[in-house]
């Protein structure tokens, strides 16, 4: 999900919205018990190690997890580890994981990411207190949770040293965690599904906007380019009036306001609802109406209105507040993965003011001196798109602007599939179309090509079936 919305995707376990910066900075958490959006929302807890890399620090914190056992084939069925990402994890979402769990007789376990939701080691999120927030720590959390849960299963069913076959699942950032978990802990899982998995840390992510242009098509792209030009012109002549048009007068820093406008457009393509944006602005352009006014209406009515984005989540003065949980994903952005969505040198759909300097200044302003993303170290540690793991299946939506940070080439042990359709966005293989609001069981009927989604899902099923059987063939010991 400012990083463009990777965030939104982050979680959708409660219709999470992750916007600025990409994976998830603002959240839309709906109540879900009655409508079946969650398979379960019953909380469980266990004591997690704060720092997995220090032999001297033995502090613990309580981490939240969930379990869904309705389809579990006792006692030796598979366990599906559904990884939560950069947002509050309020339960196990009823997406395509439900269908898969029923098919394979699997238990589903889901662990909330450290610091997010109720799993924070600290009440005050100062930069110093955020030092233990990283993907590396999160992977060890998953390993510890997996071992804890396996031991509890064995105790419950009076077994000694038994190992159920485990399989990991994740979407977006949690999709990357799913792939990285298989890479770093291959003995703890039989395989992984990495849906729209952003495994490549990217400093200047110009491919994000290039994909939006491709996904938009010529007419919509032309309208978006003209809107960008109108915004830049209006900004230079009457910034106050322009911000008021979008109900965003509180955003004092130019880049914060311009990022809001860029994210608003990206959301439509990322989450599988391109017509919500393109139809009104193309109609306005063809009719000779005020394009800027049409875009302002879209931002206020759709992005802020029905989608649920919040203007204040773009405000750096708010992000500096150590009680603001929107800081969390920004900290990971500013230390590990960047995903700086910057304007390409030409053919841009966003303001030229949104460059790397804007992002670096934000990191410094919000977190202090010396905070910047070491993307080379991140890609060195995980391999980026050249990830050298095995038994990882990657899936992407053809309209998703995050494709440039995912793995799209296949190899025998790491197959990759792209679901191609008009509204196939982020996590389409697990969520269906559109991705927000949540479609129960990941229903694909609203996708412009349900058969394309179902074809990829069959590939996923085949891989899960094969890799689980290989695990079970080795005495139910994961390899």
What is the DSSP secondary-structure string of 55-68? Answer: SS---EEEEEEEEE
pLDDT in tens, 375-422: 999 999 999 999 999 999 999 999 999 999 999 999 989 999 999 999
340 forms bridges with which residues in the sheet?
A: 204
pLDDT at 479 over 90: no
Q: Residue 417 is encoded by which pair of tokens?
A: 């599939």
- Predicted local distance difference test score (pLDDT) of residue 472: 77
The C-alpha atoms of residue 282 and residue 220 are separated, in whole angstroms, by 6
- Predicted local distance difference test score (pLDDT) of residue 473: 60
Is 459 one of the catalytic residues?
no
The residue behind tokens 């599906």 is: 80
- Predicted local distance difference test score (pLDDT) of residue 36: 87
Model-wide pTM > 0.85:
yes
Looking at residue 61, the DSSP 8-state letter turns out to be E
**C-beta of residue 167 within 8 angstroms of C-beta of residue 108:** no
- Predicted local distance difference test score (pLDDT) of residue 11: 42
The C-alpha atoms of residue 98 and residue 149 are separated, in whole angstroms, by 20
pLDDT in tens, 250-271: 999 999 999 999 999 999 999 9
pLDDT at 21 over 80: no
pLDDT, mean of residues 123-147: 98
The C-alpha atoms of residue 156 and residue 79 are separated, in whole angstroms, by 15
The C-alpha atoms of residue 419 and residue 455 are separated, in whole angstroms, by 8
pLDDT at 3 over 60: no
Q: Which of 400, 416, 429, 478 is catalytic?
A: 400
pLDDT band at 113 (very low <50, low <70, confident <90, very high): very high
pLDDT at 114 over 70: yes
pLDDT, mean of residues 120-126: 97
- Predicted local distance difference test score (pLDDT) of residue 475: 46
State the average pLDDT for the chain. Answer: 92
Which of 258, 204, 209, 210 has its CA nearest to residue 232? Answer: 258
pLDDT in tens, 428-463: 999 999 998 899 999 999 999 999 999 999 999 999
Q: Which of 32 and 331 is assigned the larger pLDDT?
A: 331
Is 289 one of the catalytic residues?
no
pLDDT band at 32 (very low <50, low <70, confident <90, very high): very low
Which of 128, 122, 57 has its CA nearest to residue 370? Answer: 128
The residue behind tokens 């950032």 is: 173
Is 348 one of the catalytic residues?
no
pLDDT, mean of residues 287-291: 97
HSE value, Cβ hemisphere, 13 Å, CA-based, for 228: 24
pLDDT band at 26 (very low <50, low <70, confident <90, very high): very low
- Predicted local distance difference test score (pLDDT) of residue 75: 95
Q: Which of 348, 426, 429, 478 is catalytic?
A: 426
- Predicted local distance difference test score (pLDDT) of residue 142: 98
Q: At the topology level of CATH, where does 38-200+383-476 sit?
A: Rossmann fold (3.40.50)
The C-alpha atoms of residue 291 and residue 284 are separated, in whole angstroms, by 6
The C-alpha atoms of residue 191 and residue 393 are separated, in whole angstroms, by 8
Q: Which of 13, 134, 172, 351 is catalytic?
A: 172
pLDDT band at 27 (very low <50, low <70, confident <90, very high): very low
pLDDT, mean of residues 30-46: 77
The C-alpha atoms of residue 91 and residue 109 are separated, in whole angstroms, by 10
- Predicted local distance difference test score (pLDDT) of residue 16: 38
């Amino acid at each position: 999900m400012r990083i463009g919305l990777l965030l939104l995707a982050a979680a959708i376990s409660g219709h999470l919205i992750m916007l600025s910066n990409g994976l998830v900075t603002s959240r839309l958490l709906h109540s879900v018990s009655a409508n079946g959006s969650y398979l379960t929302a019953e909380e469980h807890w266990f004591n997690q190690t704060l720092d997995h890399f220090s032999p001297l620090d033995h502090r613990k914190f309580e981490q939240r997890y969930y379990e869904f056992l309705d389809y579990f084939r006792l006692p030796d069925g598979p366990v599906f580890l559904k990884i939560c990402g950069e947002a509050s994890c309020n339960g196990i979402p009823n997406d395509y994981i439900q269908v898969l769990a029923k098919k394979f007789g699997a238990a589903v376990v889901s662990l909330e990411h450290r610091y997010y939701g109720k799993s924070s080691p600290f009440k005050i999120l100062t930069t110093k207190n955020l030092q233990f927030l990283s993907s590396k720590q999160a992977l060890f959390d998953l390993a510890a949770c997996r071992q804890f849960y396996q031991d509890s299963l064995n105790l419950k069913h009076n077994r000694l040293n038994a190992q159920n076959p485990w399989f990991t699942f994740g979407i977006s950032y949690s999709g990357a965690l799913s792939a990285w978990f298989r890479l770093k802990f291959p003995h703890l899982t039989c395989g992984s599904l990495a849906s729209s998995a952003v495994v490549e840390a990217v400093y200047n992510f110009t491919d994000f906007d290039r994909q939006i242009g491709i996904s938009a098509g010529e007419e919509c792209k032309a309208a978006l380019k003209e809107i960008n030009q109108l915004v830049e012109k209006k900004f230079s002549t009457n910034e106050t009036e322009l911000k008021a048009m979008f109900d965003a007068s509180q955003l004092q820093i130019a880049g914060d306001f311009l990022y809001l406008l860029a994210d608003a457009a990206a959301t439509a393509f990322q989450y599988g609802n391109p017509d919500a944006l393109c139809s009104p602005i193309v109609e306005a352009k063809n009719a000779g109406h005020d394009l800027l006014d049409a875009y302002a209406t879209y931002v206020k009515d759709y992005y802020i209105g029905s989608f649920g984005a919040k203007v204040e989540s773009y405000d750096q003065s708010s992000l500096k507040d150590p009680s603001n949980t929107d800081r969390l994903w920004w900290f990971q952005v500013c230390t590990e993965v960047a995903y700086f969505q910057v304007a390409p040198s030409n053919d841009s759909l966003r303001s030229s003011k949104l460059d790397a300097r804007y992002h670096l200044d934000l990191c410094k302003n919000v977190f202090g001196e010396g905070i910047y993303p070491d993307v080379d170290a991140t890609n060195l540690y995980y391999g980026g798109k050249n990830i050298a793991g095995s038994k990882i299946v990657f899936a992407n939506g053809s309209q998703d602007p995050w494709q440039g940070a995912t793995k799209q080439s296949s190899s025998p042990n790491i197959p990759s599939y792209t679901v191609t359709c008009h509204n196939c966005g982020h996590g389409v293989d697990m969520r269906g179309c559109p991705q927000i609001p949540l479609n129960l069981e990941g229903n694909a009927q609203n996708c412009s090509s349900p058969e394309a989604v179902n074809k990829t899902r069959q590939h996923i099923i085949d891989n899960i079936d094969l890799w689980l059987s290989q695990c079970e063939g080795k005495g139910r010991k994961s390899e």
